[in-house]
Structure 1
Amino acid sequence: MASSDLSTILPRVVIVSRRCVRKNKFVDFVGEYHLDLIIRYGAVPVIVPRVAGVHLLLESFEPIHGVLLCEGEDIDPSHYSSDPADVLSPSELDEIRLTHSSDATTDSSKDSIELRLSRLCLSRGIPFLGICRGSQILNIACGGTLYCDVGKQLRHFVEHVDYGNYDGHRHEVEVVEGTPLSEWFGEKEIMVNSYHHQGVKRLAERFRVMALAKDGLVEGFYDPEVFDVEKGKFLMGLQFHPERMRKNGSDEFDYPGCPRAYQEFVKAVIAYQKKVNGDINPKVGSSSPKLDQEMEEKRKVIVRSFSIAKDLYDVRHDLPISKQSDLEAGAEFLESNTALSLQQEKRLKQMGATVRNSTSYLQMLKKKQERETMARNIMSKMSVVQLSELLSFYNMMGVVCTEVLERKIAFDQLKNTPGDSFYY
């Protein structure tokens, strides 16, 4: 597979990281559920770091075939409000900061990056999915406004966040018939999670409501004029987090519609990529359909390779050796595709999506299985006395090994202690 072809096989979905403080240092992160679903359905997540000035360098992340914005702190009111009625008193702001200490700050760099990305999507028709804060960014980019605090301004009777039961909290929303959300979930009312204190106040005119909370807060919206998955059109915001709506202690989703949102988004991203590649690299003659078909087959092979690798690393250790050849396409993609940064590649590996060292891993498993089989065969021929002596011997070796290991560790720690001298 030629390296020059690889960047056109899997579409690229840009996601902006969120900054937090860990061990007195700033750390950027993106929730892994988002990355997992993007990869599962056939695209590559490209993480844009939340760093000052990145909004001026977005061209360096091209090609961009889709944008997923999710999670983060409050959006600065200066981006959406000039109404004096939206201004809260200093005492109210202090109360909000105390109640929502993890979210009630603003991040001007993240605001700038995400608003510019949103407007880029609007100008080019790039598929866009906004989750939680991402839906609010989309509404602002299209001329809508937000409540600075739902509790203070909406006087709601619905709890939109419960810090004592963070992932388990749910509240009811009404799904509007005839919308994509209605098709995906197939129910008139669903119970959704909630992690926010801001929300849509005035929905931008271009959007149609897909879901409403019992207090009237918009929980989902889309632009029907820019929604055709097969043609690469997708413009949607969801206030809730479908990727985190999972049964307690399980990865099973509350509703089939939860992963469907990501599946349909990636379908639109793939269609958009094909459309853009066709515009940039128009094929002539009868070879065009063949080339497109070959590229699609290569994409499916790579996605399958990622899926097998994920199973291998996550939970399944009984993968047949015959699957080894299926991993090679993904390994070659990661070896050759310079579109992936080291940080992005590391993230893929942490998810179990990398396949670079899957071959050696399978060989190790095979050797371990062969040794275990051989040991069982030998021991099955031994007498009870011999087995008892063998067990006693290995118990004794375990005790000796533990004692020697503890001494060596203690010695190494002393040796590496600054300011001390050792004589051997």
Structure 2
Amino acid sequence: MILPRVLIVSRRTVRKNKFVDFVGEYHLDLIVSYGAVPVIVPRVSGVHMLLESFEPIHGVLLCEGEDIDPSLYDAELSGFSPEELEEVRELHASDTAIDKEKDSIELRLAKLCLERNIPYLGICRGSQVLNVACGGTLYQDVEKELSKQFPELQRVTHSNYEDYDGHRHPVKVVLNTPLHHWFQDSLEDEKMELMVNSYHHQGVKRLAQRFVPMAFAADGLVEGFYDPDAYSPGEGKFIMGLQFHPERMRHPDSNNFDYRGCPSAYQEFVKAVIAYEKKLNCSASVPKGPKLNQEQEITKRNMILKSFSTAESLCISGSSGMVWAHKSELEVGAEFLEEITALSLKQMGATVRNASLYTQRLKFTAERERVARTIMERMSIAQLSELMSIYRIMRQICSEALEKKVQDLMIEED
């Protein structure tokens, strides 16, 4: 049984004077329990350039980590004095060390999810990454930038290192959001409050325009948000960020959750991942033609070669018109390319039906390259091999035709 794949970027720490990459056990347990397999992306230099090697990607879960580099979200001047900055660094020593490689990996993954509509769940730092990827900003320190605006008795403690797992603070849930549906059995109609854990000193300052808040802390900090246009787990749509850790909201003397709705974010996320994988597999399937015997295969290949040979002759001759015989021969090559790529020659930026524009249309625009890459990623090894073989022939034909054209041009100039 092959399960859909959820990418999770590791966090780096030091153990016995060596770097060790890790991911929290609760994230892994929940992903597996609901029917997907976690694929850990190591926080290693250069990995942000190798993300294609982790394909296929059916979902991305980003969670935990150091502060995001402020330069990535054009942070406004916080007005901190040098003493205040040093105080923040000392108080949150494990978080304030910027990890630019992790930033690069996770921002690339977040943007990839947004481009392809790949299911994405961001927990804590992962929600901040999602907001930054969409143009939002962050408080560099919630306590000093936000909480100080309130009287001391009304301030929210977002990090309590003396009671790390036990600390809770209330959040107000927004009606008719996924968070409301997951926890509705635990919410009082008037208060609409949950007691959530909190392990952060940064948070969303300006929420990106595409998102809708799902919960607020008493100081106004956004504690959860989602994209309503990209939320339908049954259809493979899920883009969401939670500032708190529902997977860690458990009773201290047992493994039971504080609320029945705590694991719902993971459950619905994996549901979307499974649906996305099915949708991807359906769109990638290309109908196979009837199997040819050896004699038929040779005949077919000869017809294809003749088709491209005709294209070569037309390119060299520079003829703007073509006789019917030539046109019918070119049809063979055109139909072959359409069959193995499931994409029209017009979309691929090439046509052998109009030989006078043949070389010109081979120049892909950036958009055509993107479409072509998407289609080819979904093709089988056999299809790609056959496509590569025929393109070698086409490249040789084009090269010879171009060389002949250049030589003719030089002769005319002489």
1:229 is the counterpart of 2:221: no
Distance 1:87 1:240 in 2: 27
1:17 match? 10
2:36 match? 43
Matches within 5 A, 1:167-182: 167-182=165-180
1:128 match? 120
1:95 is the counterpart of 2:87: yes
* Deviation per residue, 1:148-200 (Å, 9 max, x gap): 00011002500001000000000000000000000001121100000000000
1:164 match? 162
Distance 2:240 2:141 in 1: 22
Superposition misfits of 4+ residues, deviation over 6 angstroms: none
Number of paired residues? 277
Distance 1:23 1:74 in 2: 24
* Deviation per residue, 1:43-80 (Å, 9 max, x gap): 00000000110000000001000000000011110001
1:280 match? 284
2:230 aligned partner, one-letter code: V
For residue 245 of structure 1, the aligned residue among 242, 249, 256 is 249
Distance 1:92 1:148 in 2: 12
* Deviation per residue, 1:220-270 (Å, 9 max, x gap): 000000001111000000000000000112110001111111000000000
TM-score (norm 1): 0.64
2:70 aligned partner, one-letter code: P
* Deviation per residue, 1:385-404 (Å, 9 max, x gap): xxxxxxxxxxxxxxxxxxxx
2:34 aligned partner, one-letter code: Y
- Asked if structure 1 preserves the Cα contact closer than 8 Å seen for 2:75 and 2:137, the reply is no
Q: Which has the larger radius of gyration?
A: 2
Distance 1:232 1:90 in 2: 47
Moved more, 120-129 or 74-83: 74-83
Distance 2:79 2:262 in 1: 35
Distance 2:259 2:134 in 1: 30
Shift in alpha-carbon separation, 1:283–1:214, aligned structure 2, 3 A? farther
TM-score (norm 2): 0.66
- Asked if structure 1 preserves the Cα contact closer than 8 Å seen for 2:10 and 2:42, the reply is yes
1:282 offset after TM fit, Å?
4.6
2:216 match? 212
1:284 offset after TM fit, Å?
8.5
Matches within 5 A, 1:259-408: 259-282=263-286
1:283 offset after TM fit, Å?
6.2
| Ranges in structure 1 where 5+ consecutive residues have no aligned partner | 1-5, 286-424
1:88 offset after TM fit, Å?
2.9
Distance 1:27 1:82 in 2: 30
For residue 148 of structure 1, the aligned residue among 140, 156, 160 is 140
Distance 1:256 1:283 in 2: 45
Distance 1:172 1:93 in 2: 28
* Deviation per residue, 1:62-113 (Å, 9 max, x gap): 1000000000011110001252x33533221100011111111110000000
1:111 match? 103
Distance 1:284 1:161 in 2: 58
Shift in alpha-carbon separation, 1:139–1:167, aligned structure 2, 3 A? same
1:161 aligned partner, one-letter code: S
Structural RMSD (CA): 1.3
2:210 aligned partner, one-letter code: R
| Ranges in structure 2 where 5+ consecutive residues have no aligned partner | 149-154, 290-414
2:53 match? 60
1:215 aligned partner, one-letter code: D
User: Secondary structure, in 3 states, of the residue corresponding to 2:206?
Assistant: coil
Distance 2:53 2:288 in 1: 30
User: Secondary structure, in 3 states, of the residue corresponding to 1:134?
Assistant: helix
For residue 73 of structure 2, the aligned residue among 80, 92, 107 is 80
For residue 184 of structure 1, the aligned residue among 182, 195, 214 is 182
